[in-house]
Structure 1
């Protein structure tokens, strides 16, 4: 619904919306890998090792180019999205493997292991709730006067389900988000 509400008008058709949604989903598969890269790269930089991440990035770029060009004859326009996600995961794997020799600082603790499963469960519940709500709101999401409001409602519902269910199962605590925002606010004030 997000793509159709935002882009489906004028020359853009329903088929265009489906193609864009597929491309976004394929790129989305690589999103966790890029987050992992942001977590793992500082381990190298803290040790003043900029060479290893650079080499890994070159390898990932090669994977991206080879897959995008190599798969294009068979997969067409989806090949670059698949290649980018695959390259992101390859880079994350290389960074993780290289960080294994960095000691305890590079290992996930028990708290993280417990929480990551719960965070994934909260995300899955949110996805199911979003899918069900989008299905129930199909007519509103297509109605010209209601599309944007229905999409806003769908996004807000998804947020409430994710944070509410995540809080309920102990994936995180809302108080932790508030504390992080307060810290960030204090740092921003100190910097200005």
Structure 2
């Protein structure tokens, strides 16, 4: 019996040592929203649907990652608790997912360096020809990884709502050459 107790103590100690490694994979930190994200007041989905009652939280808004839950990153934005839900990008671990949506460098300087039409489109949460992938993400969020496994793909398949799909087509230089969608969605997501 005396051998069991040290073995249990050793197992407990090793378990305690494992916790900091997990915490390093999923750090808490201060940063900024990567993109315009839509919230219902407490939940931001990686689908970024523009459903009724949702408001846009602008790219560059300060955000603090405070923890992690089941398929969610807990954040504070303007002093209010929000969760960024990993609803459709579950192939990304939560640490990587968090770093995608809450970046450590304020995007304001990058945005200020863009041409006026691109800045205007980002501010309006719309896509326009000539945008880079980075600029599209800032404007309308990242495409969900379950439908878009790589960000360097020539087409990003995205949704404004459950039945409002739009596809962003990139040219060989990685700039938007077209957006394909129905006329109603086009009016809501494209800036000509």
One fold, TM greater than 0.5?
A: no
TM-score (norm 1): 0.23
Return the TM-score normalized by structure 2: 0.23
Question: Which is strand-richer, 1 or 2?
Answer: 2
Higher-helix-fraction structure: 1
